[in-house]
Structure 1
Amino acid sequence: MARIPDYVKVIDLPSGRRYEVRPEVTGTGDKRRQKRKRFTTLKEAVDHYTAIAGDRGRGIHVAPSELTVQDAVDSWLLGQRIRSKTMSAYVTSLRPIVDHLGNRPVQSITKDDIEAVVQALRTGTSKMGAWNAPTKLKKSARTVRSKWAATSINPMLARTRSIFDDLVNQGIVVRNVAALVKSLPVEKAEMHTLDGDQVITLLDATAHDPFAIAWLLAVYGLRRGEILAVDIDKDFDLDANTIRVDESRIAVAGGSVTGATKTATSTRTLPMPEDLARAVRRERKRHAALKLLLGSKWTGTGLLVVDEFGNPPHPDTLTTAWRRALANAGLPHVRLHDARHSCATLMHLNRVPVVVIAAWLGHQDPGFTLRTYAHSTNDALAEAAAMLGTITARKTKDAQ
């Protein structure tokens, strides 16, 4: 009969003999802890004990933890130093993970568990839970998510990998199981822009629109948040003909907030073209006339872009108004942010140096500007073809 090690306790029960071991499972910074476990065979008990002892000796043992996925996500989010809009995006991307796995201990999560979340999102069978759920949804709102595209699933996976990487660093889990889940392939969507004639059509069609000044700033390359945060007085120097961009108003849960610009280089002072300066003067007169007409009903915020009562629109309201403006002008739909792309592309096609375009848009890296915004249009491609044609035609003549 095999010798029974000192760390194994033999217990005779009515149901049969059991072998009990109590390996030490003390975590980092914890008081000394032992985890009792019983087995029906001596070999199982010895194997269990020696496996834990070996892991502890190599410094790779992880103490049992009841930390749940939801707790881990909440803790990770609390440690992020990010803007409100980015935080909102993180929460939205992580909701399926918490809804599916939130009550599970993080130590029980496997690659297959996360793959199941991905599959549910791809097939449109992901059930919605209560964690950070929108508070304004009606009771009759749907309880199952629509299908998510790869462009939405991949950010969820990226955040989940970061959370499990943090858990590994804390010694709570042995390895990052989320890192084993591959991202989905993404086809880069074609970017749609307005050409010069379409820009003129839009501005002419919306000349009397309450948000006409917003559309002008959009095609001058300002971000939506920057447009909404511009102050009608302090951000314009009509003597020097400059506009100062130093704040951004962004959508968050329950409304919008004004804060710093997206990056340090986004804070910038730009020279104003004369037509923009004239538009600002007209807008100041419009504000003054409406204030006189409405009296106490006029909401004085000091912001440039306001509705007919002086109220600044919610960022999403401006986006909806942009869609309507394009439709009323008979123009194809492009996103409001695509007006910024249009600005960069038109400048690039008119041979404005990339470093200048980057400074205008508030980019730190001109290479990013070139990769992201400088898209050739059909006219530019035709011009390139004509140029190549003159070269090859000359070569043919020389050969003759």
Structure 2
Amino acid sequence: MTTASGDPLGANHSPRLSISVGRPAVRVGISAAARWGAADVAGAIPFKICRCKDPDTGKALSRRCPKLRRPNRSWNPGHGQWAYQLELPPTKDGKRRQLRPSTGFVDREDAQTEIDQARLLISLAGRNKQWLTQIGDLIQTGRRINGVLPDVETVRQRLRSGSPLTGAPTLTEYLTDWIKVVEVDDNTRRTYASHITVHLIPVLGDVPLDQLRPHHIYTLIRTITDRNEELLAKRNSPDPAVRRSVAGRRPTGAATRSRVRATLRKAFNDALLHGIIAGVPNPAALVKTANPRSRPIVWEPERVDRWQATGDIPGPVMVWTDDLLADFLDYTAAAAPDLHPMLHLMAYRGTRRGEAIGLLDAEVRLRKAEVGIVNQIATHGGGRLHQKKPKSEAGNRDVVLDLDTVAVLTAYRTERTRWQLAAGAAWPDTGLFFVRPDGQAWHPNSVTQRFRRLIRRGGFPPIRLHDLRHGAATIALEAGVDIKVVSEQLGHSTTTLTRDTYQSVTKNLHHEAADADRIRAKRRRAA
């Protein structure tokens, strides 16, 4: 049906087609596709089916089950489910196709509502054969993938705007192209690619991009969880062959699950930004996952005692007390004088590993007691070094130095000058502040390995190199430094991240607050 103007999308367009079923088909002025759309869709009515089987053949009776109707031929309300069979517009090749939902409806009204929605969708095409075919494709795909028909208003808006109804790429097609052009550094690209090939494509690859919904994301999360359980079961199998089959494989942790969702959210946002899809919310943004961020735990003396006795480590993120940190830096000053200044900067000012290694000589202003973080060094595939900008816009920052750190870096610069004079013409010009005694840049992996060895040989309770950064934040907050200042020192994009990460370790502040409350309560009692 079309409006008087011939516009199938007019405001008065009715979902009910003015066709008398059973009358001879009108042959003049109506295309075959339009004639089909009217008669076949208007003739669809709900009926009942069941899962009973023929006792002789074992085949499903479906619509032929005698229990579906009562003696008066009316439908039996106590047996079967409601269903319908809908003749869809022919395919692009002219082939006939039908829509028969694989699951039934509890109520007849639900089946009728879906038929009415199909009528309205097909009526939007009017006499346009191409639109009829495309809407048929949408109905067929939507019912198969999502279990529901396409949204009528979304289809109407696409037709009005001239946007394509079909042809949205599957997730496999889109992500395969997207990973090649997304503007990120190489390390991030490798992480995205891993998420895509290991998790997203195997589970959601066949889903059209514009039909991705939150329930697909939940399916992805459940699949990852199921894989973990299967992996752990095989690890604990009494069969050695089964255990060998999963050797070297690790479960996917909560943090990785959250990052996989973030990768999908980024990819979907880019698809919306570039007009590949339109009119749909980002399903990955609608799904909330538990925050996997582990908060730092302080190596209090009692925890150190237990670790020394049993080897137990309380959590994945540990930080040293002020005394432990001071002891460690005293140890590294003697055991690793070439690495000590960098570790000192990381421990007290909270720079990231790549930021410290990539600190430019031109950005060290010791007279002003500050350094500029504008560069970092990371590794490419195969361990090759790569210089790049800091992690985020907030990562570009000036870090103010304390007097002790200024003294350590000043002494290091003097020592570095002696190294350079000894090397003569062989000294490389890297432009970096922290270098090895031969003038070459530090490799990030080498710094991490040296750090671990120093902890082990010095007998210190274990922490990760990145935990020096957590320790720097803890020290600053314990000293009463405003959280916004600490956030800027660390290069966090918001204070929320700083607060959520470190609120559990600022013990002195909690004690001070408790003391203040006790004093106020005592004053109230005295009054």
State whether TM-score is above 0.5. yes
- String of CA shifts for 1:129-155, please: whole Å, max 9, x gaps: xxxxxxxxxxx9979953212221122
- Note the 1:136-285 alignment, pairs <5 A: 146-164=250-268, 167=271, 170=275, 178-179=283-284, 182-186=287-291, 188-192=293-297, 193-208=319-334, 209=336, 210-219=338-347, 220-231=349-360, 233-254=361-382, 255-285=384-414
Please give the secondary structure, in 2, of the residue aligned with 1:38.
Answer: coil
Q: Distance in 2 between matches of 1:117 and 1:387?
A: 49
Q: Residue 207 of structure 1: CA displacement?
A: 0.8
In the alignment, which residue of structure 1 is the partner of 2:93?
36
Q: Structure 1 residues 159, 264: CA separation in 2 closer, same or farther (over 3 Å shift)? A: closer
Q: Distance in 2 between matches of 1:290 and 1:258?
A: 24
- String of CA shifts for 1:19-71, please: whole Å, max 9, x gaps: 99557xxxxxxxxxxx134237899xxx9898445365724575443844333
Q: Distance in 1 between matches of 2:25 and 2:367?
A: 93
Q: Residue 182 of structure 1: CA displacement?
A: 3.7
Percent of residue pairs bearing the same amino acid type: 20
In the alignment, which residue of structure 2 is the partner of 1:72?
174
Alignment partner for residue 342 of structure 1, among 445, 461, 471?
A: 471
* 286-295 vs 251-260, which moves further: 286-295
Alignment partner for residue 303 of structure 1, among 432, 457, 460?
A: 432
Alignment: residue pair count: 364
Q: Distance in 2 between matches of 1:204 and 1:314?
A: 23
Q: Distance in 1 between matches of 2:496 and 2:166?
A: 48
Query: What letter matches 2:416 in structure 1?
Result: H
- String of CA shifts for 1:2-27, please: whole Å, max 9, x gaps: 645741599xxxxxxxx99557xxxx
Query: What letter matches 1:150 in structure 2?
Result: A
- String of CA shifts for 1:287-328, please: whole Å, max 9, x gaps: 344455566776552423334443323333333333333333
Query: What letter matches 2:222 in structure 1?
Result: Q
Give yes or no for contact 1:218–1:339 (8 Å, CA) kept in 2: yes
Unpaired segments ≥5 residues, structure 2? 1-21, 37-86, 101-116, 126-130, 132-154, 231-243, 298-318
Return the structure number with greater relative CO, CA threshold 8 A, min gap 6. Answer: 1
In the alignment, which residue of structure 1 is the partner of 2:302?
none
Give yes or no for contact 1:348–1:354 (8 Å, CA) kept in 2: yes
TM-score between the two structures when normalised by the length of structure 1: 0.71
Q: Distance in 1 between matches of 2:122 and 2:249?
A: 42
Please give the secondary structure, in 2, of the residue aligned with 1:305.
Answer: coil
- String of CA shifts for 1:160-213, please: whole Å, max 9, x gaps: 244346557746598569549844334552223332112201211111413211
In the alignment, which residue of structure 2 is the partner of 1:7?
32
Give yes or no for contact 2:372–2:398 (8 Å, CA) kept in 1: yes
Q: Distance in 2 between matches of 1:85 and 1:189?
A: 23
Query: What letter matches 2:156 in structure 1?
Result: R
Give yes or no for contact 1:125–1:145 (8 Å, CA) kept in 2: no
Give yes or no for contact 1:246–1:260 (8 Å, CA) kept in 2: yes
Query: What letter matches 2:364 in structure 1?
Result: F
Unpaired segments ≥5 residues, structure 1? 11-18, 24-34, 128-139
> 2:443 aligned with 1:314, yes or no?
yes
Q: CA RMSD in A?
A: 4.4
